[in-house]
Amino acid sequence: MKYNNLLIEIKEHTAVVTVNRPDKLNALNADTINDLEGAFTELKNKDDVFVIILTGSGEKAFVAGADISELSTLDVLGAKQFSDRGNSVFEFIENLDKPVIAAVNGFALGGGCELALACHIRVSGENAKFGQPEVNLGLIPGYGGTQRLARTVNSARALEYILTGDMINAEEAFRIGLVNRVYPQTELMNKTFELADKIAGKGQQAVRLALKSVRATHQMALTQGLKYEASLFALVCGTEDFKEGTMAFLEKRKPDFKNK
């Protein structure tokens, strides 16, 4: 499918979704939010896509936020719909049963930071700058920033960033656990592909159930989460991949996963 503001490229089992409004630093307008929903729905349904990388077009930005020209026209009812819409698309991404890696190649501000936070793994270039600068516009984050940033770093740090609107550079983002890895800008995509390939080479039943189980930490208390993990562990032990993975180890060979 064609999208107005997104590019999709598929290489082997990895799809790259690129937000493509470089002249507006890939700011998320309503059209782009619709495109994201369409693209992630399309990729969810593609059986041969195992991992998705999300990045931004151009040298400067991952996504520099929600589109401020659209934001500026919102009234109270419109703002509620705006926020609900973004949250529902970002939750769709977060709840996908395929790993989504944000390759943050520049500014990830406001909705851009929130979009990266909805991804399962974040890596960045050395030039990345994260932040929730909504307070500078007389706003608060509306696409999940108050919730996911506080869960990803800690609430005191999240509050500092949200209350000051200060930007977080790549080094600090790494130090506080906002990104897993930082690469020189020129190596970012190659290194992200390496990570995606590594995950794509595992048994995908296990990858999907592990993703589901870790994600449950957001929704469940520990006792409930442990029970949930046990039920998914039982499920994965019924797969062909489990039999192949353990047999291959015992036979001292590489597993040949069929993702069944």
Nearer to ligand COA, 15 or 64 (CB): 64
Residue 193 is encoded by which pair of tokens?
Answer: 């592909």
Catalytic, out of 42, 70, 126, 134: 134
Q: Is 194 a catalytic residue?
A: no
In angstroms, rounded to a whole number, what is the distance separating the alpha carbons of residues 198 and 193?
8
Tell me how far, at minimum, the Cβ of 145 lies from ligand COA, in Å: 9
> Which of the ranges 5-13, 105-113, 188-196, 199-207 carries the binding residues for ligand COA, by CB under 6 A?
105-113
DSSP 147-200: HHHHHHS-HHHHHHHHHH---EEHHHHHHTTS-SEEE-GGGHHHHHHHHHHHHH
**At how many degrees (to 10) do helices 111-118 and 76-94 cross?**
30
> Which of the ranges 21-29, 168-176, 180-188, 219-227 carries the binding residues for ligand COA, by CB under 6 A?
21-29
In angstroms, rounded to a whole number, what is the distance separating the alpha carbons of residues 118 and 73?
26
> Which of the ranges 10-18, 34-42, 66-74, 80-88 carries the binding residues for ligand COA, by CB under 6 A?
66-74
From the list 103, 109, 153, 173, which residue makes contact with ligand COA (rule: CB under 6 A)? Answer: 109
Alpha helices in the chain (DSSP H): 30-44, 68-71, 76-94, 111-118, 145-152, 155-164, 170-175, 188-200, 204-215, 222-236, 240-250
Show contacts with ligand COA in window 194-223 (CB under 6 A).
Answer: none
In angstroms, rounded to a whole number, what is the distance separating the alpha carbons of residues 21 and 10?
20
Q: Is 74 in the site for ligand COA (CB under 6 A)?
A: no
Nearer to ligand COA, 51 or 71 (CB): 71
Q: Is 27 in the site for ligand COA (CB under 6 A)?
A: yes
From the list 64, 96, 117, 195, which residue makes contact with ligand COA (rule: CB under 6 A)? Answer: 64
* 168-205 as b/e: b if 16+ CB within 10 A: bbbebbbebebbeebbebeebbebbbebbeebbebbbb
Tell me how far, at minimum, the Cβ of 109 lies from ligand COA, in Å: 4
Catalytic, out of 12, 42, 91, 114: 114
Q: Is 66 in the site for ligand COA (CB under 6 A)?
A: yes
Longest dimension (CA), the chain: 65
Tell me how far, at minimum, the Cβ of 216 lies from ligand COA, in Å: 30
Tell me how far, at minimum, the Cβ of 41 lies from ligand COA, in Å: 25
Nearer to ligand COA, 25 or 117 (CB): 25
> Which of the ranges 38-46, 90-98, 104-112, 146-154 carries the binding residues for ligand COA, by CB under 6 A?
104-112
Cα–Cα distance list, 5 to 11, 34, 142, 181, 188 (Å): 20, 9, 21, 27, 22
Active site residue ranges: 114, 134
Residue ranges in contact with ligand COA by CB under 6 A: 24-25, 27, 64-69, 107, 109-110, 133-134, 137
